[in-house]
Amino acid sequence: MYEGVSFIPITWTDMFYLAPEISLVAAFILLVVLDLLLPRRVTRLTIGWLTLVGLLVSLALVIWRMWDMNQGGVSAEAIGLLGNSYRIDDFGSLLKIVFLSGTVLIVLLALGSVRDDEAITDRAEYFYLLLPAVAGAMIMTSSANLVTLYIGLELLSLASYVLVGLKRKSFVSAEAAFKYVVIGGISSALVLFGMSYIYGVTGSVDLVVIRDALPAALTNFKALVYVGFFFMLAGFGIKIAAAPFHAWAPDVYQGAPTPVSAFLAVIAKGAALAVVFRILYATVFFSVNGQDAEVPKNIFYGLLVLGAIAMLVGTTAALRQRNVKRMLALSGVANAGYMLVPIGISITVVHSNNFSEFIYYLIAYLFMTIGAFAVVTVVCRASGHEELKGFSGMYYRAPWTAAAMVVFILSLAGLPISGGFFGKLFILLGAASAKAYWIVAIIVISSVISYYFYFGLTRQMFMRSGSDDSAISVSAPTAIVIWVCAAATLALGIFPGPLMGWIDAVFSVKEDLMLIIK
Amino acid identity of residue 463, one-letter, is M
- Confidence label for 1 from pLDDT (cuts 50, 70 and 90): very low
Give one DSSP letter per residue of 388-424, joined into a string: GGGGTTHHHH-HHHHHHHHHHHHHHHT-SSSHHHHHH
Residue 104 neighbours by CB distance under 10 Å: 21
Three-state DSSP at 81 gives strand
**pTM metric for this prediction:** 0.93
Chain segment 432-474, per-residue pLDDT in tens: 988 889 999 999 999 999 999 888 888 888 887 766 667 788 8
Mean pLDDT, rounded, for 133-149: 94
Which pLDDT tens digit goes with each residue over 363-404? 999 999 999 999 999 998 888 788 888 888 888 888 899 999
How does pLDDT run across 181-195, given as a tens digit for each residue?
A: 999 999 999 999 999
**pLDDT single digits (tens) 194-240:** 999 999 999 999 998 998 898 888 888 889 999 999 999 999 999 99
The neighbouring-strand residues paired with 88 are: 79
Q: Indicate whether 349 pLDDT > 60.
A: no
What separation in angstroms does the CA of 153 have from each of 117, 159, 410? 29, 10, 33
- Distance separating alpha carbons of residues 453 and 282, to the nearest angstrom: 39
How confident is the model over 84-114, as pLDDT tens digits?
Answer: 888 888 899 999 999 999 999 999 999 988 7
Report the SS3 class of residue 323: strand
Angle (nearest 5°) at CA 390 between 245 and 248: 10
